[in-house]
Chains A and B, each alone.
Chain A
Amino acid sequence: LAKTTQPISMDSYEGQEVNITCSHNNIATNDYITWYQQFPSQGPRFIIQGYKTKVTNEVASLFIPADRKSSTLSLPRVSLSDTAVYYCLVGVPVNDKIIFGKGTRLHILP
Protein backbone atom coordinates (compact mmCIF):
# COMPACT_ATOMS: atom_id res chain seq x y z
CA LEU A 1 0.00 0.00 0.00
CA ALA A 2 1.14 3.52 -0.75
CA LYS A 3 2.56 5.34 2.26
CA THR A 4 0.67 8.43 3.36
CA THR A 5 1.80 11.50 5.26
CA GLN A 6 -0.62 13.80 7.03
CA PRO A 7 -0.30 16.35 9.84
CA ILE A 8 -0.30 14.88 13.32
CA SER A 9 -2.73 17.47 14.64
CA MET A 10 -4.71 20.56 13.69
CA ASP A 11 -6.78 23.11 15.57
CA SER A 12 -9.61 25.18 14.16
CA TYR A 13 -12.64 27.13 15.30
CA GLU A 14 -16.33 26.50 14.99
CA GLY A 15 -17.79 27.72 11.73
CA GLN A 16 -14.49 27.58 9.86
CA GLU A 17 -13.69 25.43 6.85
CA VAL A 18 -11.01 22.87 7.65
CA ASN A 19 -8.71 21.36 5.04
CA ILE A 20 -6.53 18.38 5.87
CA THR A 21 -3.95 17.48 3.26
CA CYS A 22 -2.50 14.02 2.80
CA SER A 23 0.60 13.26 0.73
CA HIS A 24 0.87 9.95 -1.13
CA ASN A 25 3.71 10.29 -3.61
CA ASN A 26 3.83 6.59 -4.47
CA ILE A 27 0.15 6.15 -5.25
CA ALA A 28 -0.46 3.43 -7.83
CA THR A 29 -2.72 3.59 -10.84
CA ASN A 30 -5.38 1.37 -9.29
CA ASP A 31 -5.31 3.02 -5.87
CA TYR A 32 -8.22 5.01 -4.46
CA ILE A 33 -8.01 7.58 -1.67
CA THR A 34 -10.24 6.99 1.33
CA TRP A 35 -10.78 8.98 4.50
CA TYR A 36 -12.04 7.64 7.81
CA GLN A 37 -13.16 9.57 10.87
CA GLN A 38 -12.81 8.32 14.43
CA PHE A 39 -14.50 9.95 17.40
CA PRO A 40 -13.21 9.29 20.92
CA SER A 41 -14.29 5.90 22.27
CA GLN A 42 -15.73 4.84 18.91
CA GLY A 43 -14.54 2.80 15.96
CA PRO A 44 -13.53 4.50 12.70
CA ARG A 45 -16.22 5.51 10.25
CA PHE A 46 -15.89 5.79 6.45
CA ILE A 47 -16.54 9.35 5.30
CA ILE A 48 -15.43 9.69 1.69
CA GLN A 49 -13.55 8.02 -1.13
CA GLY A 50 -12.30 9.26 -4.49
CA TYR A 51 -10.02 8.48 -7.43
CA LYS A 52 -9.46 11.85 -9.09
CA THR A 53 -10.74 15.44 -9.27
CA LYS A 54 -13.43 16.17 -6.71
CA VAL A 55 -15.91 14.13 -4.72
CA THR A 56 -18.55 15.64 -2.45
CA ASN A 57 -21.05 14.10 -0.07
CA GLU A 58 -23.13 15.33 2.84
CA VAL A 59 -20.16 15.17 5.21
CA ALA A 60 -17.12 16.39 3.29
CA SER A 61 -15.42 17.11 0.00
CA LEU A 62 -12.31 15.43 -1.31
CA PHE A 63 -10.04 17.26 -3.72
CA ILE A 64 -7.50 15.28 -5.74
CA PRO A 65 -5.12 17.05 -8.15
CA ALA A 66 -4.29 15.63 -11.54
CA ASP A 67 -1.03 13.99 -10.41
CA ARG A 68 -2.86 12.31 -7.49
CA LYS A 69 0.21 12.62 -5.28
CA SER A 70 -1.81 14.38 -2.62
CA SER A 71 -5.40 14.90 -1.60
CA THR A 72 -7.28 17.34 0.60
CA LEU A 73 -10.21 16.53 2.82
CA SER A 74 -12.40 19.60 3.25
CA LEU A 75 -14.88 19.92 6.10
CA PRO A 76 -17.21 22.90 5.66
CA ARG A 77 -18.24 24.99 8.66
CA VAL A 78 -16.97 22.68 11.35
CA SER A 79 -18.61 22.33 14.74
CA LEU A 80 -17.30 21.06 18.07
CA SER A 81 -18.63 17.61 17.17
CA ASP A 82 -16.15 17.37 14.29
CA THR A 83 -13.36 16.94 16.82
CA ALA A 84 -11.96 13.55 15.86
CA VAL A 85 -9.03 11.74 14.29
CA TYR A 86 -9.07 11.67 10.49
CA TYR A 87 -7.23 8.91 8.64
CA CYS A 88 -6.11 9.11 5.02
CA LEU A 89 -5.76 5.72 3.33
CA VAL A 90 -4.58 4.80 -0.14
CA GLY A 91 -5.20 1.45 -1.76
CA VAL A 92 -7.53 -0.56 -3.91
CA PRO A 93 -11.19 -0.26 -2.82
CA VAL A 94 -11.66 -4.00 -2.93
CA ASN A 95 -9.59 -4.62 0.12
CA ASP A 96 -9.73 -7.31 2.72
CA LYS A 97 -8.06 -5.24 5.43
CA ILE A 98 -7.46 -1.60 6.15
CA ILE A 99 -3.99 -0.33 6.97
CA PHE A 100 -4.31 2.77 9.13
CA GLY A 101 -1.60 5.32 9.84
CA LYS A 102 -1.63 7.59 12.88
CA GLY A 103 -4.12 10.02 11.38
CA THR A 104 -4.67 13.72 12.03
CA ARG A 105 -6.12 14.78 15.37
CA LEU A 106 -8.49 17.65 14.61
CA HIS A 107 -9.51 19.77 17.58
CA ILE A 108 -12.32 22.26 17.08
CA LEU A 109 -12.39 25.17 19.50
CA PRO A 110 -15.45 27.26 20.39
Chain B
Amino acid sequence: GAGVSQTPSNKVTEKGKYVELRCDPISGHTALYWYRQSLGQGPEFLIYFQGTGAADDSGLPNDRFFAVRPEGSVSTLKIQRTERGDSAVYLCASSLTTSSEQFFGPGTRLTVL
Protein backbone atom coordinates (compact mmCIF):
# COMPACT_ATOMS: atom_id res chain seq x y z
CA GLY B 1 0.00 0.00 0.00
CA ALA B 2 0.96 3.66 -0.24
CA GLY B 3 3.33 5.01 2.34
CA VAL B 4 3.55 8.47 3.85
CA SER B 5 3.84 11.12 1.18
CA GLN B 6 5.06 14.67 1.51
CA THR B 7 4.76 17.61 -0.83
CA PRO B 8 6.61 19.41 -2.16
CA SER B 9 9.78 17.35 -2.16
CA ASN B 10 11.82 20.55 -2.40
CA LYS B 11 10.91 24.11 -1.52
CA VAL B 12 13.11 27.15 -2.01
CA THR B 13 11.92 30.39 -0.53
CA GLU B 14 13.24 33.77 0.49
CA LYS B 15 13.81 34.98 3.98
CA GLY B 16 10.65 36.43 5.45
CA LYS B 17 8.25 34.43 3.28
CA TYR B 18 5.50 32.07 4.43
CA VAL B 19 5.61 28.37 3.54
CA GLU B 20 3.31 25.38 3.91
CA LEU B 21 4.49 21.80 3.90
CA ARG B 22 2.00 18.99 3.40
CA CYS B 23 1.94 15.46 4.78
CA ASP B 24 -0.37 12.65 3.66
CA PRO B 25 -0.19 9.86 6.24
CA ILE B 26 -0.89 6.20 5.68
CA SER B 27 -4.65 5.69 5.47
CA GLY B 28 -6.14 4.82 8.84
CA HIS B 29 -3.18 5.99 10.89
CA THR B 30 -4.44 8.09 13.78
CA ALA B 31 -1.10 9.48 14.93
CA LEU B 32 0.97 11.89 12.86
CA TYR B 33 4.38 13.36 13.68
CA TRP B 34 6.56 16.14 12.33
CA TYR B 35 10.34 16.15 12.67
CA ARG B 36 13.05 18.45 11.37
CA GLN B 37 16.46 17.21 10.29
CA SER B 38 19.45 19.45 9.78
CA LEU B 39 22.49 18.32 7.83
CA GLY B 40 24.53 15.74 9.71
CA GLN B 41 22.05 15.52 12.57
CA GLY B 42 19.35 13.08 13.55
CA PRO B 43 15.70 14.07 13.16
CA GLU B 44 14.40 16.44 15.83
CA PHE B 45 10.82 16.11 17.07
CA LEU B 46 8.52 19.07 16.45
CA ILE B 47 4.90 18.08 17.09
CA TYR B 48 2.55 15.15 17.04
CA PHE B 49 -1.18 14.76 16.49
CA GLN B 50 -3.55 12.17 17.82
CA GLY B 51 -6.51 12.54 15.49
CA THR B 52 -7.18 16.22 14.88
CA GLY B 53 -5.61 17.56 18.03
CA ALA B 54 -1.99 18.38 18.72
CA ALA B 55 -1.10 16.10 21.63
CA ASP B 56 2.43 17.41 22.05
CA ASP B 57 3.84 20.53 20.39
CA SER B 58 6.80 20.90 22.73
CA GLY B 59 9.31 20.60 19.89
CA LEU B 60 8.10 23.60 17.88
CA PRO B 61 11.01 26.06 18.08
CA ASN B 62 8.92 29.25 18.28
CA ASP B 63 5.56 30.76 17.40
CA ARG B 64 6.48 31.10 13.72
CA PHE B 65 5.84 27.38 13.42
CA PHE B 66 2.32 26.01 13.42
CA ALA B 67 0.74 22.75 12.28
CA VAL B 68 -2.81 21.65 11.66
CA ARG B 69 -4.64 18.42 10.94
CA PRO B 70 -8.25 19.54 10.56
CA GLU B 71 -9.83 16.25 9.50
CA GLY B 72 -7.49 13.86 11.24
CA SER B 73 -5.72 12.81 8.09
CA VAL B 74 -3.63 15.28 6.04
CA SER B 75 -1.47 17.67 8.01
CA THR B 76 0.11 20.96 7.07
CA LEU B 77 3.16 22.46 8.75
CA LYS B 78 3.16 26.22 8.40
CA ILE B 79 6.17 28.45 8.87
CA GLN B 80 5.78 32.21 8.97
CA ARG B 81 8.51 34.79 8.32
CA THR B 82 11.02 32.11 7.37
CA GLU B 83 14.62 32.50 8.44
CA ARG B 84 17.76 30.99 6.95
CA GLY B 85 18.08 28.82 10.04
CA ASP B 86 14.80 27.13 9.14
CA SER B 87 16.53 25.42 6.21
CA ALA B 88 16.34 21.68 6.84
CA VAL B 89 14.54 18.53 5.77
CA TYR B 90 11.09 18.35 7.33
CA LEU B 91 9.99 14.78 7.92
CA CYS B 92 6.51 13.50 8.57
CA ALA B 93 5.68 10.13 10.10
CA SER B 94 2.45 8.34 10.91
CA SER B 95 1.52 5.37 13.03
CA LEU B 96 -1.60 3.33 13.60
CA THR B 97 -1.61 4.43 17.22
CA THR B 98 0.90 6.23 19.39
CA SER B 99 2.13 2.89 20.66
CA SER B 100 2.96 1.40 17.27
CA GLU B 101 5.76 1.77 14.76
CA GLN B 102 6.18 5.12 13.06
CA PHE B 103 6.49 5.14 9.27
CA PHE B 104 8.36 8.08 7.82
CA GLY B 105 7.86 9.93 4.59
CA PRO B 106 10.72 11.04 2.32
CA GLY B 107 10.70 14.57 3.68
CA THR B 108 10.50 18.06 2.24
CA ARG B 109 13.81 19.84 1.78
CA LEU B 110 13.28 23.50 2.69
CA THR B 111 15.88 26.03 1.66
CA VAL B 112 15.55 29.61 2.84
CA LEU B 113 17.71 32.02 0.88
Of the candidates B40, B41, B93, B98, the one whose C-beta lies within 8 Å of that of A43 is B93
Q: Name the one of B44, B45, B99, B107 contacting A93, with C-beta atoms under 8 angstroms.
A: B99
B42 & A43 in contact (Cβ 8 Å cutoff): no
Q: Which residues of the other chain, B, contact A41 by a CB distance below 8 angstroms? A: 106-107
Chain B contact residue count (CB 8 A cutoff): 25
Given A43-B93, A102-B41, decide whether A96 and B55 contact each other with a Cβ distance below 8 A: yes
- Are A94 and B41 touching (Cβ within 8 A)? no
Question: By the criterion CB–CB under 8 Å, are B43 and A98 in contact?
Answer: yes
Q: Does A46 contact B (CB under 8 A)?
A: yes
15 new A-B contacts at CB < 8 Å, known A45-B104, A100-B42: A42-B104, A44-B43, A44-B104, A46-B101, A85-B42, A87-B42, A93-B99, A96-B48, A97-B45, A97-B48, A98-B45, A98-B102, A100-B35, A100-B43, A103-B42
- Chain B positions 34-63 with a Cβ under 8 Å from a chain A Cβ: 35, 40-45, 48, 55-56, 59
Q: Which residues of B contact A (CB under 8 A)?
A: 4, 31, 33, 35, 40-45, 48, 55-56, 59, 91-93, 98-99, 101-102, 104-107
Query: Secondary structure of the A side of the interface?
Result: loop
Q: Nearest B residue to A43 by beta-carbon distance? A: B104
- Check A109 for interface membership: any CB of B closer than 8 A: no
